Amino acid sequence: MKIALIHCPFGHRIFSENLKVVDEEFCLAPPIILAYVAAILEKAGHQVILIDANALRLTKEKTLKILKEFKPDIVGFRADTYWFHRVVEWADYFKNNMNVIIIVGGINITLYPRESLSHRCFDYGITGEANESLLKLILAVENKRNVKGVQGVVYRENGIVICNPASENIVAFDDYPFPARHLLPNKLYYSFTSQLKNFTIMITSTGCPFKCSFCAISRLAYRERNPINVVDEIEECYRKFNVREIDFFDATFFINKKRSIAICEEILKRGIKIEWSCRSRADVVDDDILRMASQAGCRKIYYGIESVADEVLKNVNKKVDAGQIIRAINLAHKYGINTLGFFMVGNPSDNRDSILSSIKFAKKIKLDFIQVCRTIAKPNTELNDYLIKMHGVDYWREYILGKRAEGRLPTPWSELSEDEAERYLRKFYRDFYFRPSYIIKRIFRIRSLVELVRYIKAAMRWSFSNYSDVKKEFKILPQHNR
């Protein structure tokens, strides 16, 4: 069949944990999950296009022109909870202007299948792993067969949403084909901290064995790809797509020391001159891993720090301490690896003193970059479970159903008001990035005009952003009376 996959522009959401400038400037990454889906479909013999309307800055109207030229049998979307209604908007537009079947997937469909299919623009939803269920669904659609027995399919029958249980088969990560990067505009992608072109992202593991209360990834099964499989994809990126910088999007790289070193050794063995970055924890790195990683091209590690206050770290179940963080940062710098610290404002027991201590700490340990976000109740997290218990309602479920407008969610675990959290978040960025010493150091490390322009653009947007305008934009969703 002819299948078009659409990655529509998302932008900033009022309830986002990030500032608007961060959401819009920090990273333009390829839609890697859709690229996996495209590869699965192509392997099965289907004709596929993947339209990254976000990177190409396409409107619905321009995307429709492409679709009408391609004449797809099926249009597919991936819908995360945050941007669900943007996907609905686009799917509804194509449904009204084309005779086409629309399928939607993504973690949101697994979390809220009936709520998602209450929107008539979607004909089918896919829960669980698409490697099996999506192909069976498409085969049923192609042959006009009933989908009743297809595992993981969500559909309507006589106006009632039916959810077929997802398959319990766990597909080995190594069995997935590599993402279909030949369908993507690879020259357009970058992150705020990237320095080389072409830039792409990779996933070498799923899930996370740690149980931080603010994170949904820990509730996904942890699976690793073997080192040879990982480096095969790195080599394909390097030789076929001219990629020179890769960001590994794993939740926690370096968990498996033996595997991490094996990946680095294989990169060196093949002579792949690649630079890469990854996300990790302070308590899983050591001298051996970072020395080898540096030799293999690791130039940046994003450490999840969250806070320097022991009580805060305990309350979010982080299970690290300031000493481990300092050691991890120093080790990275020892081997010429830049560091970015992820921090959060508004954690359980967070207050003025704990946040000011974290700001001071970030500057003292000489992080190269920071990213700061508000602590919110993300879908399928321990914090969201707590919010549901406190208020008797799942705000995300009602948002998907269209029963609640977009707005800031309550944070009953925090001592900070919404106004205080927003101001401290901005202070964190301002105090860190706008130091003369930091600006001078950053200028001398810039490696291209594109990188310089990116920094100037972000700084200008930050400088001219008006907090009073932001404050008018948001309102906290009202508490629910049981």
For the segment 273-314, what is each residue's pLDDT rounded down to a tens digit?
Answer: 999 999 999 999 999 999 999 999 999 999 999 999 999 999
What span, in angstroms and rounded, lies between the C-alpha atoms of 77 and 10?
Answer: 13
Confidence of residue 115 (pLDDT cuts 50, 70, 90): very high
What span, in angstroms and rounded, lies between the C-alpha atoms of 18 and 339?
Answer: 19
CA gyration radius for the chain?
23
For the segment 357-407, what is each residue's pLDDT rounded down to a tens digit?
Answer: 999 999 999 899 999 999 999 999 999 999 999 889 999 999 999 998 888
- For the chain, the helix, strand and coil percentages under 3-state DSSP, each to the nearest 5: 45, 15, 40
Contact between 35 and 48 (Cβ < 8 Å): no
The residue among 17, 337, 30, 6 whose CA lies nearest residue 203 is 30
For the segment 199-247, what is each residue's pLDDT rounded down to a tens digit?
Answer: 999 999 999 999 999 998 988 889 999 999 999 999 999 999 999 999 9
When pLDDT is averaged across residues 259-263 and rounded to a whole number, the result is: 97
pLDDT at 457: 79
When pLDDT is averaged across residues 136-158 and rounded to a whole number, the result is: 93
The residue among 107, 111, 136, 141 whose CA lies nearest residue 123 is 141
Confidence of residue 41 (pLDDT cuts 50, 70, 90): very high
What span, in angstroms and rounded, lies between the C-alpha atoms of 87 and 64?
Answer: 14
Confidence of residue 452 (pLDDT cuts 50, 70, 90): confident
Torsion sign (Cα): 302, 304, 305, 306: positive
The residue among 395, 352, 345, 335 whose CA lies nearest residue 370 is 345
What span, in angstroms and rounded, lies between the C-alpha atoms of 351 and 375?
Answer: 13
* Residue entry with tokens 């920090």: 26
**Exposed / middle / buried, residue 138 (Cβ in 10 Å: 0-12, 13-18, 19+):** buried
- The amino acid at 210: F
The residue among 328, 196, 308 whose CA lies nearest residue 253 is 328
Torsions phi, psi of 261, nearest 5? -65, -35
Confidence of residue 356 (pLDDT cuts 50, 70, 90): very high
What span, in angstroms and rounded, lies between the C-alpha atoms of 350 and 366?
Answer: 23
The helix (H) or strand (E) run that includes residue 315 is helix 310-315
Strands 199-202 and 245-248: parallel
3-state SS assignment for residue 475: coil
pLDDT at 219: 85
Separate counts of helices (H) and strands (E) for the chain: 19, 17
Torsions phi, psi of 436, nearest 5? -55, -40
Structural tokens at position 114: 């009936």
Strands 190-191 and 27-28: antiparallel
Overall residue count recorded for the chain in this entry:
482
The conformation of residue 221, written as its DSSP 8-state character, comes to P
Confidence of residue 482 (pLDDT cuts 50, 70, 90): very low
For the segment 149-199, what is each residue's pLDDT rounded down to a tens digit?
Answer: 899 999 999 999 999 998 877 788 899 999 999 999 999 999 988 999 999
Res. 429: pLDDT tops 50: yes
The residue among 135, 131, 152 whose CA lies nearest residue 33 is 131
Please report the domains of the chain, with CATH numbers, ordered by start residue.
2-163 (3.40.50.2300), 189-473 (3.80.30.20)
Residue 395 Ramachandran class (φ > 0 left, ψ -120 to 50 alpha, else beta): alpha
What span, in angstroms and rounded, lies between the C-alpha atoms of 25 and 12?
Answer: 10
Who wins on pLDDT, 100 or 446? 100
How is 138-181 classified by DSSP, letter by letter? HHHHHTT---TT-TTEEEEETTEEEEPPPP-----GGGSPPP-G
What span, in angstroms and rounded, lies between the C-alpha atoms of 176 and 448?
Answer: 36
Look at 234-248, 406-420, 458-472 and tell me which has the smallest mean pLDDT.
458-472
What span, in angstroms and rounded, lies between the C-alpha atoms of 235 and 239?
Answer: 6
What span, in angstroms and rounded, lies between the C-alpha atoms of 305 and 309?
Answer: 10
Q: What is the SS3 assignment for 191-211? A: ECCCCCCCEEEECCEECCCCC
Res. 481: pLDDT tops 50: no
pLDDT at 475: 53
pLDDT at 171: 80
pLDDT at 155: 96
What span, in angstroms and rounded, lies between the C-alpha atoms of 42 and 60?
Answer: 25
Average pLDDT of the chain to the nearest whole number? 92
Q: What is the SS3 assignment for 44-89? A: CCCEEEEEECCCCCCCHHHHHHHHHHHCCCEEEEECCCCCHHHHHH
88 CB contacts (<8 Å, ≥6 apart)?
79, 119, 121
For the segment 46-98, what is each residue's pLDDT rounded down to a tens digit?
Answer: 999 999 999 999 999 999 999 999 999 999 999 999 899 999 999 999 999 99
The conformation of residue 121, written as its DSSP 8-state character, comes to T
Listed as own residue / partner, the contacts of 385-388 with beta carbons closer than 8 Å and 24 or more positions apart are 386/412, 386/413, 387/412
Res. 15: pLDDT tops 60: yes
Torsion sign (Cα): 480, 343, 264, 39: positive
**Exposed / middle / buried, residue 12 (Cβ in 10 Å: 0-12, 13-18, 19+):** middle
Who wins on pLDDT, 265 or 20? 265
